[in-house]
Amino acid sequence: MTAGCWKELPPAVSGLAGSNPRRSEFGFKLDRIGPHGSETVAQGGLRQGGRVPRILTYNVHRCLGTDGRLSPSRIADVIAAYEPDVVALQELDVGRLRTGGIDQAHAIAQALGMQVHFHASLKVLEEEYGNAILTHRPSQLVKAEALPGWVRKPGLEPRGALWASVRIGGSDVQVINTHLGLRRHERLAQIDTLLGPRWLGHQACRDPVLLVGDLNATPRSRAYRRLASHLCDAQAQIRLPRPRPTFPSRLPMLRIDHVFVSRSVRVLRVETVRTPLARVASDHLPLLVEFEIAQGLGHRSALAHAQE
């Protein structure tokens, strides 16, 4: 296990919150639609109708598939088949000429019946490009900001993160979604910012916490190791027999999309979505994690256990 992982957790709390989303600064309420399928789930989780909470992170490549087809609805279909409670999306176009002026974040959210919180990492006039958190559970946007680049290399693609509080199982789960840079130095600066007092070190960022997204960092990278010294990689906590790579989607070899969890989050299952549709809908595969919240460990700083 990595330094941020823990071997044993107390039993999970029981009961799930309702699914009526609250309005927030960057989101709006949408009517919920019915389920789109079912999945076999692990035993012992927080259950409502026989299932446990799920989060899915997905770099959608502006909804442009490996076959050259542009289709937000295809992305929504990939997601809907797994019925996640929370969805973290990266590389969304909003009002951009290159993708037909569509608001991809809201189009996907509407297809899924979810509330959406969007943050534009890049904005040029009326065109935006960024990341989003979607959920059908009660949620509130906490923060959405740019992340630093590399001072020696100006002009790199702007990066950002957004943080939403999502009510799950009687707990306010802090979900941070990000998409880090391609250069090693900028990734390290961005990780340091996320570990600092404005994000994971903030007094409001209390366990349970999920930090997810396309980190552009493999487990051997310094950026990954720095983050893993404070939080636990979901794939490391569950001790999978083999890693679950997500990129490229047709023949995944790299594990650069991640879900990191704080101490009170028990990971039950990790899966890369490798359906035929997922292989062509984007150049990344989605990463799905099922989890539960342990009793007695919540409400502390997300980084409080790093030195324990």
pLDDT for 99-124, tens place per residue? 999 999 999 999 999 999 999 999 99
83 DSSP β-pair partners:
none
Q: Among 8-12, 205-209, 258-262, which stretch is predicted with the lowest mean pLDDT?
A: 8-12
Residue 89 to residue 71: CA distance in whole angstroms: 15
Domain boundaries of the chain, sorted by first residue: 54-293
Residue 224 has pLDDT above 90, yes or no: yes
| pLDDT > 60? residue 238 | yes
What span, in angstroms and rounded, lies between the C-alpha atoms of 190 and 196? 10
Considering only residues 41 and 284, tell me which one the structure prediction assigns the higher pLDDT: 284
Under the banding of pLDDT at 50, 70 and 90, the label for residue 306 is very low
The answer to whether residues 232 and 261 touch, using CB atoms and an 8 Å cutoff, is yes
- Closest-CA residue to 257 (of 83, 61, 119): 61
The average pLDDT across 211-236 equals: 98
Q: CA–CA separation, 71 vs 183, rounded Å?
A: 29
- As a whole number of angstroms, the distance between CA 296 and CA 281 comes to 41
Helical pair 72-80 and 104-112, crossing angle rounded to 10 deg? 40
pLDDT tens column, 15-69: 222 333 333 332 333 322 233 322 223 333 444 445 799 999 999 999 999 999 9
* Portion of the chain with pLDDT greater than 90, in percent: 74
Indicate the class that CATH gives domain 54-293: alpha beta
